[in-house]
Amino acid sequence: MYDETKGFVSKVDTPAYVVDESLLIKNLKILKGVREKTGAKILLAQKAFSMYSVYPLIAQYLDGTTASGLYEAKLGKEEMGNREVHVYAPAYKESDVNELVSICDHMVFNTPTQWRKYRDLVQSANRKISCGIRINPEYAEVDTDLYNPCILGSRLGTTLSGLTMEALDGIEGLHFHTMCEQDADVLWRTVQVIDERFEPYLKKMKWINFGGGHHITKEGYQMEYLEKSIHLFQEKYGLQVYLEPGEAIALNAGFLVSEVMEMMENQMHIAILDTSAACHMPDVLEMPYYPLILQDNEPCAHVEGKKETEDGIVYRLGGPTCLAGDVIGDYRFSKKIEIGDRLVFCDMAIYSMVKNNTFNGMPLPSIYLYTKDGKLELIKKFGYNDFKGRLS
């Protein structure tokens, strides 16, 4: 993946997100292979990647989009073409449901109570909408509580004790999402729990949605467990299986190019960039997540501690905001960093553009597409009006 940066690092205005079309297609081909081999349908989870300029490309490989609310549903409907639109939310506003019934093919409700509230409205729509309930199997292997949908007291999904056959009258599918950037061995253990606990309800369904969090396109992914999980529900219950990965679509397909603005010393070497962890890569603070960095096309990794070693120089990389914790991390570089140097953060397509913000009046990074033909296309450049326009 390192060679992919040669054509654009010096050409973009920083900070800038750059999505590499060739790497995106590489992921999409893997996902298309899963569809063709298993019969499962795969949807783009827009919460992770909503660069709609490439939706027509994605539509050539996947079955549609899934949304977390009205705006994402509208985006998928408008930009993905004639593909399926699915939506799930922990709770819906009636005004949103009035619009969603004209947009969505599947609607997933968080509880039987939400289903009862909107059942008549959905069923009176002048088009067929397949409805589901999100279940909480009370089993997950996610280490970070912030991203664990099955943590004690979770608001996401209905546990087995909250279900009855009567409550599911009119429901055609079950949805679960218990994973976060995990391999398929975790999925296999999860589906066995669901099969055991929810068997009576599964017998009444037409489809099941495995949700997201699947690292399908990551090197070394255990595809055999994914296929085994899909086949379990196909063969035992005759269900249509859906997957809705977000990160797998654009995993390692995007970069964030940053420039060093200042150097200083305070018990260690510190570089101040024009890129903010808080504004441009929030997962760095939330997960925490430490992306690989390229310096002159060579990989540099995050390190714990600040001890100098013979094999490099450790720098703390910080953003330009007033937030004291706006620190990307401590990284070891093979050579000195200078003002004006450009650093490239890897795997910056997912959960970056969709979560960034303008705290402190920080400019949003421009968005570029590096095409499969080696051309650099500016997709969107943001300015002062984008900051001002969201305020009053």
Tens of pLDDT, residue by residue, the chain (392 residues): 445 556 799 999 999 999 999 999 999 999 999 999 999 999 999 999 999 999 999 999 999 999 999 999 999 999 998 999 999 999 999 999 999 999 999 999 999 999 999 999 999 999 999 999 999 999 999 998 999 999 999 999 999 999 999 999 999 999 999 999 999 999 999 999 999 999 999 999 999 999 999 999 999 999 999 999 999 999 999 999 999 999 999 999 999 999 999 999 999 999 999 999 999 999 999 988 899 999 887 889 999 865 665 678 999 999 999 999 999 999 999 999 999 999 999 999 999 999 999 999 999 999 999 999 999 999 999 999 999 999 99
Q: Looking at residue 288, what is its pLDDT?
A: 85
Q: Which two tokens stand for residue 120?
A: 């008549």
Chain-centre distance of CA 39, in angstroms? 23
Burial class (CB in 10 A: 0-12, 13-18, 19+), 32: middle
SS (H, E, C) the chain: CHHHHCCCCCCCCCCEEEEEHHHHHHHHHHHHHHHHHHCCEEEEECCCCCCHHHHHHHHCCCCEEEECCHHHHHHHHHHCCCCEEEEEECCCCHHHHHHHCCCCCEEEECCHHHHHHHHHHHHCCCCCCEEEEEECCCCCCCCCHHHCCCCCCCCCCECHHHCCCCCCCCCCEEECCCCCCECHHHHHHHHHHHHHHCHHHHCCCCEEECCCCECCCCCCCCHHHHHHHHHHHHHHHCCEEEECCCHHHHCCCEEEEEEEEEEEECCCEEEEECCCHHHHCCHHHHCCCCCCEEECCEEECECCCCCCECCEEEEEEECCCCCCCCEEEEEEECCCCCCCCEEEEECCCCCCCCCCCCHHHCCCCEEEEECCCCCEEEEECCCHHHHHCCCC
Whether residues 66 and 191 fall in one domain = yes
Q: Looking at residue 310, what is its pLDDT?
A: 61
Q: Looking at residue 7, what is its pLDDT?
A: 79
Give the Cα separation of 87 and 70 in Å (integer).
8
Q: Looking at residue 308, what is its pLDDT?
A: 61
Whether residues 225 and 261 fall in one domain = no
| Partner residues linked to 368 by β-bridges | 18, 378
Confirm whether 28 is domain-assigned: no
**Overall number of domains in the chain:** 2
Q: Which two tokens stand for residue 367?
A: 């968005």
Confirm whether 31 is domain-assigned: no
Whether residues 125 and 84 fall in one domain = yes
Confirm whether 24 is domain-assigned: no
Whether residues 305 and 373 fall in one domain = yes
Q: Which two tokens stand for residue 333?
A: 């570089």
Confirm whether 71 is domain-assigned: yes
Confirm whether 54 is domain-assigned: yes
Whether residues 231 and 302 fall in one domain = no
Residue type, 313: I
Q: Looking at residue 80, what is its pLDDT?
A: 95
Confirm whether 10 is domain-assigned: yes
Give the Cα separation of 54 and 62 in Å (integer).
12
Confirm whether 25 is domain-assigned: no
- Tell me the Ramachandran region of residue 382: left when phi exceeds 0, alpha when psi lies from -120 to 50, beta otherwise: beta
Q: Looking at residue 259, what is its pLDDT?
A: 97
Whether residues 278 and 307 fall in one domain = yes
CB contact at 8 A, 115 and 122: no
The CATH number covering residue 44 comes to 3.20.20.10
Give the Cα separation of 20 and 9 in Å (integer).
12
* Final residue in a domain of this structure, among 223, 250, 277: 250
* Final residue in a domain of this structure, among 211, 233, 250: 250
Task: Tell me, yes or no, if the pTM score tops 0.85.
Answer: yes
Instruction: Determine how many CB atoms are found less than 10 A away from the CB of residue 325.
Output: 10
CB contact at 8 A, 274 and 15: yes
Whether residues 218 and 269 fall in one domain = no
Whether residues 62 and 196 fall in one domain = yes
- Tell me the Ramachandran region of residue 358: left when phi exceeds 0, alpha when psi lies from -120 to 50, beta otherwise: alpha
Identify the domain containing residue 274 by its residue range.
2-18+254-348+356-388
Computed on alpha carbons and rounded to an integer, the radius of gyration of the chain in Å comes to 22
Burial class (CB in 10 A: 0-12, 13-18, 19+), 227: middle
* Final residue in a domain of this structure, among 181, 216, 250: 250
Decide the pairing of beta strands 376-380 and 240-243.
unpaired
